[in-house]
Structure 1
Amino acid sequence: MRRFWSCIFLTFIISCDSNDTNRNPFLQEVSFRFELNLNLPLYNNLNTIGNPVFVGNSGVGTRGAFVMKTSIDNNFIAFEASCPNHAPNNCSTMEIDGQNVVCQCEDFTYSLFTGQQLNRPDDGNRYYDLLFYRTTLSGNTVTVFN
């Protein structure tokens, strides 16, 4: 009997999850897949490094996505367009400012190269960086997905 309870206890300890991942409570991670044809004039900026494009199509993330080419090796990066530090509302869709994006609600600024918040307040509160989306390149088509 003692062996039985020891096995149960060991199973319980092994099955416990100590994942400290802090999910963003403001943004849901929705599943989507969207293709960007680099031959189209709408996505022409993506042929040059550091020129972001806003993709506001329905079904792309929560409020759309920002996509940008980051290297000569044709690496692309994509981030959610809704400000990660409050629930989506009428001012939470960010706007492009060079290679950064700015939330109009609080004037928070985020880098499109790293996704990090550049003007994080030092008030002891938890602030989130941009929500990252995966990208792949096949021929002249960039696929953004989650």
Structure 2
Amino acid sequence: MLRSITTLICCFVLVTSCQKNDDGDNNNNFIPDINFDTFDSINTTLPQYNDLQFPGGSIVINGFGYNGIVIYNTGNTYYAFEITDPNHVPSGCSILNVEGTIATCNCEDGNSYSIAGGGVPFDGTTGQYSLKPYFVETNGNVIRVYSN
């Protein structure tokens, strides 16, 4: 009986002392968390969202996130990212320009990121962060992008 209680206590201590691994989190001090939800506003049958109907298509939408979001169609799913450079204090130059599958900031270092590659920085980009991702759900032709 004593052995069972000791084993139970040891298991409890081990389980409660484990910490969550935050290595995959993209939280940083540069981009504040902005709560938003596009709800049903992104319908790919509408002309302004037509590019999202095709693999490799992307679109930048202002008015959501901190400085706007980019949505990218991989062919199997959609990615959505903040268009603020995650490795700069937000400023006029840290808003990313999106051309094709590359997002580049206008600051002197010219950080650039692969939208198609999950927001990872290209070689030569200074800083430790990838693009800030947002959650994406699809329901037929409607895409919902939201933050926590």
Calculate the TM-score normalised by the size of structure 1. Answer: 0.78
Q: List alignment gaps of at least 5 residues for structure 1.
A: 1-6
1:98 to 97, 100, 109: 100
Q: Which moved more, 1:16-25 or 1:80-89?
A: 16-25
1:36 to 38, 42, 46: 42
Quote the offset at 1:87 in angstroms. 1.5
What is the distance in 1 between the residues matched to 2:86 and 2:54?
27
What is the DSSP-based 3-state SS (H/G/I as helix, E as strand, rest coil) of the residue aligned with 2:134?
strand
Runs ≥4 in structure 1, deviation > 2 angstroms? 13-23
What is the distance in 2 between the residues matched to 1:20 and 1:70?
26
Q: List alignment gaps of at least 5 residues for structure 2.
A: 1-8
Matched, 1:56 2:62: yes
What is the DSSP-based 3-state SS (H/G/I as helix, E as strand, rest coil) of the residue aligned with 1:14?
helix
Superposed, which structure 2 residues align to 1:13-92 within 5 Å? Answer: 14=16, 17=19, 19-21=21-23, 23-34=27-38, 35-57=41-63, 60-71=64-75, 73=76, 75-92=77-94
CA RMSD of aligned residues (A): 2.2
Match of 1:117 in 2: 121
What is the distance in 2 between the residues matched to 1:19 and 1:141?
33
What is the distance in 1 between the residues matched to 2:17 and 2:89?
33
Question: For the structure 1 residues 18 and 36, does the alpha-carbon distance in structure 2 shift closer, same or farther, using more than 3 Å as the test?
Answer: closer
